[in-house]
Amino acid sequence: MRLTPTRLQAGIWEGVLEAGPAAVPPDIEALHQGRPLPGLRLTPDPGRPGRYGLALPIPAEILSDGVQTCMIRDRATGAILASFAILAGQPLDHDLRAEIELLRAELDLLKRAFRAHCVEATSPPG
């Protein structure tokens, strides 16, 4: 089973679910912080058996400062098919800047280590 995200528009997350040619629609659920989200809809594609359009309205109640992550999973196996994050609020600006600074520092460290490795690899033994 494969879920391909297609868009998030007007508060509705959408995707295409390829479930295979089974006659029974897949049993999937959407979760936020371990709790089920209401309103998940699967619409069969009449021209392609086993293919479904998926639509999940994002409840306003889950929107708040910080990062909110939602997961869509196969209820039978527990396998995560897709996840998405919604970022909001002013405190997030500081978090993102701090993360970018850490990534830059790590990249600089890797560049120095790589350059040192290249110098060692091209130096004649001796």
Most confident of 2-16, 63-77, 98-112: 2-16
Q: Are 12 and 55 in contact (CB under 8 A)?
A: yes
Residue 102: per-residue pLDDT: 80
- How many Å is the Cα radius of gyration of the chain? 22
The pTM assigned to this predicted structure is 0.70
Backbone angles phi, psi at 87, to 5 degrees: -110, 135
DSSP string for 44-109 = E-TTSTTEEEEEEE--GGG--SEEEEEEEEETTT--EEEEEEEEESTHHHHHHHHHHHHHHHHHHH
3-state secondary structure of 42: strand
Q: What tens digit of pLDDT does each residue of 23-72 get?
A: 788 999 999 998 999 999 999 999 999 999 999 999 999 998 888 899 99
**Contacts from 40-48 at CB under 8 Å and sequence distance 24+?**
40/72, 42/17
Q: What single letter denotes the amino acid at residue 23?
A: A
> Which comes out higher in pLDDT, residue 125 or 20?
20
Mean pLDDT of all residues in 79-99: 81
